[in-house]
């Protein structure tokens, strides 16, 4: 190893052939600096690209590029930090699709569609892959429902296959549902929350789906677009309203009253990501070209300023991800660029 290996750069940048929207870090232990990127082209034909950082040359390269119908609303690798499942990633758009990553060929394993009326599909706004049970995936849709899917990975005739079925579908909100996220509470398998156009955060338990809990309602009933659970303390979650410059932190033990508001962004917030390794750090990103890291230890005292600010993005930051297996690194997307930043 050369002496420069210890002096790792603070920022690595990758320029894609098209504008980027969705992005996710791989969590496999043998694929350290690997990300999946989804294009944002306003037509049917879109792309997903898997990129990897070569730690010797300090350059990102594309390992696999494949076609995707419509832009991906979210992309996510299977939460398999031990590397025991097949190397899968999922995308949402018109349907939920599960892919098997390969270099160079990534292939489609299955398309999950629970619409009985085949002429019409209500687009999926988001999904979440359950960390405790990777056979569970929850999707949110503009048709007001959330669907929990059961995946099966089997091995007929020496070829591993992936299939899925609807475990449960529920009308989650009065209007479109924009995001869904499983909670680590109670074992981490059965609890999830959703946000949507009705301006509410609702919490569900797969064991008792007959009722949900409203954790928060926006006073003006503004749509809530994003939802993220604290990775270490399942009492806390963050949400952001449409066209809002602030991120709202909620404590499920004190419903309906935010415990903190993070409001230093000068344009609307697009992304929120909790630290994978700390209960009191969260990163937010927005149209003001900034990614901000906050320490929320002072709650319920007001949190005035972020502890770190990255202001060198050359465009509106539309996506932010904190690496689960790489807690020193945050990834952001703007325009055609994906950057990873050492924090």
Token pair of 5 as six digits: 């290996």
- Angle, alpha carbons 331-335-341 (nearest 5°): 20
Residue 8 falls inside a structural domain: no
Any residues with CB less than 8 A from the CB of 281 and at least 6 apart, and which? 274, 275, 293, 294, 295, 296
Token pair of 198 as six digits: 């009705």
Residue 74 falls inside a structural domain: yes
DSSP, collapsed to helix, strand or coil, labels residue 6 as helix
What residues form DSSP beta bridges with 24?
A: 36
Quote the domain boundaries for residue 51. Answer: 19-268
Token pair of 244 as six digits: 């809002």
CATH number at residue 200: 2.130.10.10
- In Å, the largest CA–CA distance within the chain is 62
Residue 9 falls inside a structural domain: no
Q: What is the pLDDT along the chain (343 residues), one digit of tens a residue?
A: 233 344 567 999 999 999 999 999 999 988 989 999 999 999 999 999 999 999 889 999 999 999 999 999 999 999 998 988 999 999 999 999 999 999 999 999 999 887 666 566 789 999 999 999 999 999 999 999 999 999 887 655 555 567 788 888 888 888 999 999 999 998 889 999 999 999 999 999 999 888 899 999 999 999 999 999 999 999 999 999 999 999 999 999 999 999 999 999 999 999 999 999 999 999 999 999 999 999 999 888 888 899 999 998 899 999 999 988 889 999 999 999 999 999 8
Please indicate, yes or no, whether the overall pTM of this predicted structure exceeds 0.85.
Answer: yes
The C-alpha atoms of residue 186 and residue 205 are separated, in whole angstroms, by: 10
Residue 288 falls inside a structural domain: no
β-strand pairing of 177-182 with 191-196: antiparallel
| Total domains, the chain | 1
Residue 212 falls inside a structural domain: yes
DSSP, collapsed to helix, strand or coil, labels residue 156 as helix
The C-alpha atoms of residue 160 and residue 208 are separated, in whole angstroms, by: 33
Half-sphere exposure for 290 (CA within 13 Å, toward CB)? 19
Note whether 104 and 156 are within 8 A (CB): no
Residue 113 falls inside a structural domain: yes
Task: Give 213-247 as a DSSP string.
Answer: EEEEE-TT-PPEEEEEE-SS-TTEEEEEETT-S-E
The number of residues making up the chain comes to 343
Residue 279 falls inside a structural domain: no
Note whether 67 and 47 are within 8 A (CB): yes
Residue 333 falls inside a structural domain: no
Note whether 196 and 178 are within 8 A (CB): yes
């Amino acid at each position: 190893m050369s002496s420069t290996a210890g002096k790792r750069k603070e920022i690595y940048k990758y320029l894609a052939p098209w504008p980027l929207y969705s992005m996710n870090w791989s969590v496999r232990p043998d694929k350290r600096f690997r990300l999946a990127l989804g294009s944002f082209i306003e037509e049917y034909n879109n792309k997903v690209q898997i990129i990897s950082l070569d730690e010797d040359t300090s350059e990102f390269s594309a390992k696999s590029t494949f076609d995707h119908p419509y832009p991906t609303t979210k992309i996510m690798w299977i939460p398999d930090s031990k590397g025991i499942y097949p190397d899968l990633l999922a995308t949402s758009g018109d349907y939920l699709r599960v892919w098997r990553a390969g270099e160079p060929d990534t292939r489609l394993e299955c398309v999950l569609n629970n619409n009985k009326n085949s002429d019409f599909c209500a687009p999926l706004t988001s999904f979440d892959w359950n960390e405790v049970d990777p056979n569970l995936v929850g999707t949110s849709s503009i048709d007001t429902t959330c669907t929990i899917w059961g995946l099966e990975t089997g091995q007929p005739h020496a070829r591993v296959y992936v299939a899925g079925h609807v475990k449960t579908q529920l009308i989650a909100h009065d209007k479109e549902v924009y995001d869904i996220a499983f909670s680590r509470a109670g074992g981490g398998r059965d609890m999830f929350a959703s946000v949507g156009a009705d301006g509410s955060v609702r919490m569900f338990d797969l064991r008792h789906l007959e009722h949900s809990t409203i954790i928060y309602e926006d006073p003006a009933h503004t749509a809530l677009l994003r939802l993220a659970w604290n990775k270490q303390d399942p009492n806390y979650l963050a949400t952001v309203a449409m066209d809002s410059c602030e991120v709202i932190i909620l404590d499920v033990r004190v419903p309906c009253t935010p415990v903190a508001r993070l409001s230093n962004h000068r344009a609307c917030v697009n992304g929120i990501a909790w630290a994978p390794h700390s209960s009191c750090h969260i990163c937010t990103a927005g149209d003001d070209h900034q990614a901000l890291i906050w320490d929320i230890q002072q709650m319920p005292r007001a949190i005035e300023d972020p502890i770190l600010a990255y202001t060198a993005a050359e465009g509106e930051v539309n996506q932010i991800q904190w690496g689960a297996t790489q807690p020193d690194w945050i990834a952001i997307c703007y325009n055609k660029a994906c950057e990873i930043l050492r924090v």
